[in-house]
Amino acid sequence: MFRPHVRPAATLIGATLLLVTAASAEITARPGWEIHASSKDYATLLADLKSAVKDQGLAVVTEAGPTDAAAARGITLPGNRVVGVFANDYAVEILGLSTAAMIEAPIRFYVTEEADGTATLAYKTPTYVFAPYLPEAGDKLGSVAARLDAAFAAIATSALRD
């Protein structure tokens, strides 16, 4: 039903404020996630994450985030970046066990800027990500995921180090 008293601009502003408010909410604990608050600012944590990925012999293969694109549209969002991490050795090994499981690669880290200027690092553990494929792929996939868990934990520890 059309309501002539509702102004499109007011609706757009309200939706934008809702989006900004939702985007600034802290990530809360959930099954399979590792969530680490940091004293670092967003840009520093993101740079340190990328360096730690390389130090662990993995590669940043994807990056995505709405912050810059939103800014180009006049919308201010806190820093928000998803960083996909993987390595070809793992891909070859996983493909030998389950073609379907490769849809989960790369596995992602999530860096978010908090209202106080600090940043949070979060990720789903590889064992959690690959768990649905264990019935078809077996214990070998579980072993690969456990090795990735160790690498991701090392990356997080390094990236968060002051």
| 3 domain-assigned | no
What's the chain's Rg over C-alpha atoms?
Answer: 19
For residue 63, what are the β-bridge partners?
83
- Rounded distance between C-alpha atoms, residue 107 and residue 1, angstroms: 44
pLDDT at 22: 44
Percent of the chain at pLDDT > 70 equals: 85
Length of the chain: 162
Rounded to two decimals, the pTM is 0.84
CA–CA gap between residue 113 and residue 139 (Å, rounded): 37
Q: What is the DSSP string of 139-162?
A: HHHHHHHHHHHHHHHHHHHHHH--
Is 85 a member of any domain? yes
CATH of the domain at 27: 3.30.310.70
Burial pattern 28-55, b for ≥16 Cβ within 10 A else e, equals eeeeeebbeebebebeebbebbbebbee
Q: State pLDDT tens for residues 130-150.
A: 999 999 999 999 999 999 999
Domain, as residue range, for 43? 8-160
Q: What gap in Å lies between CA 101 and CA 143, rounded to an integer? A: 14
Give the chain's domain count. 1
| 37 sits in which H/E element | strand 33-37
pLDDT in tens, 7-54: 444 444 444 444 444 444 578 999 999 999 999 999 999 999 999 999
Rounded distance between C-alpha atoms, residue 17 and residue 76, angstroms:
10
DSSP string over 86-113: E-HHHHHHHHTT-TGGGGGPSEEEEEEE
pLDDT for 43 equals 97
